[in-house]
Structure formats: C-alpha cells, structure tokens
C-alpha cells in the first residue's frame, strides 16, 4: 500500500497524517483532493461508529481503501463531554476558539487535580472489496489548562497538557506532538493490524 485515502476535509488532521506517513514512503490523499464527494453525516454515538461511517463512504465512492479518523477530547469533570461532539461543541459551525472558550467556561472554578482529560482517536479502515474493516483506538492522557496556550496544532491543542509535560500540545513542535498524540498511538496500532502499512521508515 503506497497510497492511502484519509477520509477527512480537516486540514489540520490531513497535515498530521501526511507527516506521520511520509517516513514510510506512503502518499496521502484526503477528501480535500476529492471535492466532489459529499460530506458524511456523523450520526454515530461513538467515535468508532463515526469513523466507520466515514471510511465506508470514502471506500465505496473512490473504489480505494480508505482510512477515517474520529477523534475528540473527553473531560472527566464534564462527564465525558465534549466527546463525539468535540468539533461542534459550541455550535453547528466548527469553531475551535468557540469550542475552547466553552470548555474553559464550563471548567471555571474546577481545581487542577479534577481537570483530567484525554484525547481519543479511533481509526477505521474500510476496503472496497469484502474484507472486514479494521478499527483501532489510541488515547493520550492529560489535563485541561486554565487558558489557551500556544499557537501550533488545532482543535483543543491549546488547552490540553499531556501527562509528563508542562505545556500544551499547541506549544509543541509537530514532531514532538506526533510522537505522543492519540492519533500517533492509534496509527501504531493500525500498522500492527495492517501489514501493508508496516514498512520501515525510509
């Protein structure tokens, strides 16, 4: 497998996948390269259900194996919210700053030891033939900061401090983040489950 289709139009996710697959000589195409394809309504109640919906649609419409990511942040003090609603937590329009602002407002007054959270990523691979889809999950544990910090990354990166670090993911260089992120952990599991992706870095 020297080329994969990532079923996303999120430029931040697309950029991370390109960076992760590049050392293995794998070309990444995304739904940004297929503007004619319709958006998939994420009607699932779990990350896995939504990832599979997106992967199956992309594989069916392109006739190529497709990988879809569904991910988000799970905050313990908010009973697991935003969870699967992470991208649209502050409203139907995807607005990272508004989402982060809403999380900070809801955590106002919550002390540091109760601000635990984790980024979760589920990757689903769907094939245009009759092969069973593959689903793997990765998580990165950490806590929510008291304010936005850093300008790198996207989504909730400016709020999320991974365990073992003092700064947020948005304060990390891309290579540093890609070594520990929920997406990187899920991708490692996917490479173990899918031999075609298990080449050695070039």
Domain for residue 202, yes or no?
no
Question: Is 70 in the active site?
Answer: yes
pLDDT of residue 1: 62
Each residue of 66-120: pLDDT tens digit?
A: 999 999 999 999 999 999 999 999 997 889 999 999 999 999 999 999 999 999 9
Domain tally, the chain: 1
Strands 66-75 and 134-144: unpaired
Each residue of 134-156: pLDDT tens digit?
A: 999 999 999 999 999 999 989 99
Reference 196, options 67, 31, 33, 101; nearest CA is 67
Best-predicted range by mean pLDDT (18-27, 41-50, 73-82, 88-97): 73-82
Domain for residue 104, yes or no?
yes
Domain for residue 182, yes or no?
yes
Domain for residue 35, yes or no?
yes
Residue environment code for 4-38, b if the CB has 16+ CB neighbours within 10 A, otherwise e: bbbbbebeebbebbeebbeeeebebbbbeeeeeee
CATH number of the domain encompassing residue 175: 3.90.950.10
Binding-site residues for Mg(2+): 41, 70
**Residue 32 belongs to what domain range?**
3-197
Q: Which residue in 69, 70, 108, 148 is the catalytic one?
A: 70
């Amino acid at each position: 497998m020297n080329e994969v289709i990532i079923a996303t139009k999120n430029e931040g996710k697309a950029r991370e996948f390109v960076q992760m697959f590049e050392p293995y000589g794998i070309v990444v195409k995304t739904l940004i390269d297929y503007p004619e394809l319709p958006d998939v309504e994420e009607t699932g109640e779990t990350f896995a259900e939504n990832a599979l919906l997106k992967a199956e649609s992309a594989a069916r419409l392109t006739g190529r194996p497709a990988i879809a990511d569904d991910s988000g942040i799970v905050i313990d003090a908010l009973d697991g919210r935003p969870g699967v609603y992470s991208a649209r937590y502050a409203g139907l329009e995807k607005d990272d700053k508004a989402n982060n602002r809403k999380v900070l407002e809801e955590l106002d007054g919550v002390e540091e030891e109760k601000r635990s959270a984790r980024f979760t990523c589920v990757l689903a691979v769907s094939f245009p033939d009759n092969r069973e889809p593959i689903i793997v999950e990765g998580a990165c544990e950490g806590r929510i900061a008291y304010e936005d910090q850093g300008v790198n990354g996207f989504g909730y990166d400016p709020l999320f401090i991974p365990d073992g670090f003092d700064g947020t993911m948005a304060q990390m260089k891309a290579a540093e983040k890609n070594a520990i992120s929920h997406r990187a952990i899920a991708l490692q599991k996917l490479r173990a489950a899918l031999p075609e992706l298990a080449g050695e870095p070039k």
